[in-house]
Structure 1
Amino acid sequence: MEPRDYRFYKISKEATKQIKKETAEIQAKRQVLLNEAIESVGAKGVSFSNSWGENGTTIRAFAFAVDKEFDFAVKESQRTSELKVIRAKANSKKGKAFNAALDAEKDELNKKLKDLPCFKDYIINKFDIQCCSISQHGSGAGMRMLETIVGYPQNDKSFLICAIPNHERGMDKQPSIPDCFEEITYGVFYDLSNSK
């Protein structure tokens, strides 16, 4: 993170208290939907979508137990010590049917999850502070994606902090900053987000 590329804010304790309540209700509903979908396809978890402007509201794929056996050929795209993301090879009827069932369940789940955003998306949407842009890498080589960052400080969960790409550096138009946001310096932001 290049400090000059962002403006830094602290969100008031009152607004944070309300956000906690609202996001807890949303998260409970999300978890029910996720559990139902995971169980319906015999999976053990999911992989969330995270990319340009996507912060994990929808899923990218279902994840299965590493030791789960299938009676058709599969291809792994991702693996951890406990889970693997797979697709069936499309050279069998069973494989094609498996992929179709996974895709249908994923699409149906994602339609529902879009109305129940993840924590970060909820805050970004609530305050309309989404901002994505591209900046030159500090070393001068390559490009970096910049996007709104929001979360709790390391030690104090009574307020939120966020970093929004800075329009003065040629980025997207700066979002309107709500009254419950207090601008802070990079040093304060760094201390809050990195203190142990």
Structure 2
Amino acid sequence: MSANRLTHGELRSELLALNVGHLIIIWAQIDAVLSGVSRILFEFMGGHPSEAALPRSFSRKLAFVRKCYAAKAELAPDGAAMAAILSRAAKLVIDRNTLAHGALIDEGAGSLTMLRLDMIKSDELDVREYTPETVSKVVMESADLLSDLIALAWHLKQFIPDDLVGHSGSELAQEFVRRFPPIDLTNEEAS
């Protein structure tokens, strides 16, 4: 092989790195949308009695949104869909956290073995092996999760009081639309 050409193993490692980067970007968006949903539920719908302040951590946001959807009749039409989204998020965040915060303990021919100490679950060690294919699957599942979460977040716009939205739109509503526009993840031209 010439010095300018990558080996098959090097290409697989590059693909892993690109997929992990893509995953991090998607999860930043998931967290931003979940923060927006939490803020609307907290500020415009009264939140939930178990939370005196807006939740900050991802796990607390998941729990808060789950409680709000279970407790508020006006959210009941979307309750099952949101519960399913939150369950998917709780599972996928484990891979996200392992890939983003785990320690690389072995890099094989196109695979990564990651080690992460799970401080929440009795200091358990979580060791997982990832290939470009498994990371790609996590990326696609995360992108689907983001799309579904955005679709439900749009339903919450109706709970922002009209006096805040006004005829030209409030800064909050404009920021919500700017941050969480509907996206078509199937559009191949965008990639």
* Shared fold, TM over 0.5: no
Higher helix share: 2
- Structure with higher strand content: 1
Q: Which is bigger in relative contact order (C-alpha 8 A, separation at least 6)?
A: 1
Q: TM-score, with normalisation over the residues of structure 2? A: 0.31
TM value normalised by structure 1: 0.30
